[in-house]
Amino acid sequence: MVKQTQILVIGNNTNGCTPKHEKMAYDIGIEIAKSGSVLITGGLGGVMNACSHGAKDGNGITVGILPQDDPKFANDYCDIVIPSGMGFTRDFLNALSADGVIIVGGGSGTLSEVCAAYMSKKPMVAIRGIESSITPYIDGYVDHRKNVKIIGADTATEAVEKILELIKA
């Protein structure tokens, strides 16, 4: 049996998540499911919920890695729930569990996950046109080390195609 590709999708939680974020995340979830990849999220609301919903509607597999120690916090679309009990430290678990990362907006929590993925040299794709803490790094690097370039994408299909290309490279 061949290991399935695991794609982490990160972005705005319920606070700050707009209908534009939700639509993009939902569409990304569908595209991840169509690719046969496994979706990983932080398992909560906002982008995580919308993306998980899209993946489930696309008959995909969804994993939610929660910061809490109680699975009841997971959104309704998580097939596999991992209640880490690690708080914000779970951002590193999320990043290390993924083969690649897609970013849909986000604030400081998303930036934390981006930094964890960056230090681990995980390929990343970020959606352009959604103002966030990640915007200054799209099509560039987080710092002088140039560990991994954060590639910009304009659509859900493009984001998933690009992350799959980067993972296979």
> For residue 77, is pLDDT > 80?
yes
> For residue 158, is pLDDT > 80?
yes
Q: What is the 3-state secondary structure (H, E, C) of 47-60?
A: HHHHHHHHHHHCCC
Residue 102's nearest CA partner among 53, 58, 146, 157 is 157
Measure the CA angle with vertex 107, ends 105 and 112; round to 5°.
Answer: 105
pLDDT recorded at residue 68: 97
Give the DSSP letter of residue 37: P
> For residue 2, is pLDDT > 90?
no
**Looking at residues 98-121, what average pLDDT do you find?**
96
**Looking at residues 104-121, what average pLDDT do you find?**
95
pLDDT recorded at residue 131: 84
Helix (H, G, I), strand (E, B) or coil at 150: strand
Give the DSSP letter of residue 96: H
Domains of the chain in sequence order: 6-168 (3.40.50.450)
pLDDT of 133-151, one tens digit each?
999 999 999 999 999 999 9
Residue 132's nearest CA partner among 7, 18, 9 is 18
pLDDT recorded at residue 15: 85
> For residue 1, is pLDDT > 80?
no
To 10 degrees, the CA torsion angle through 68, 115, 25, 31?
-110
**Looking at residues 13-33, what average pLDDT do you find?**
95
Asked if 124 contacts 151 with a C-beta cutoff of 8 angstroms, the reply is yes
Residue 46 zone, left/alpha/beta (φ > 0; ψ -120 to 50; rest): left
Asked if 80 contacts 62 with a C-beta cutoff of 8 angstroms, the reply is yes
pLDDT recorded at residue 123: 98
> For residue 169, is pLDDT > 90?
no
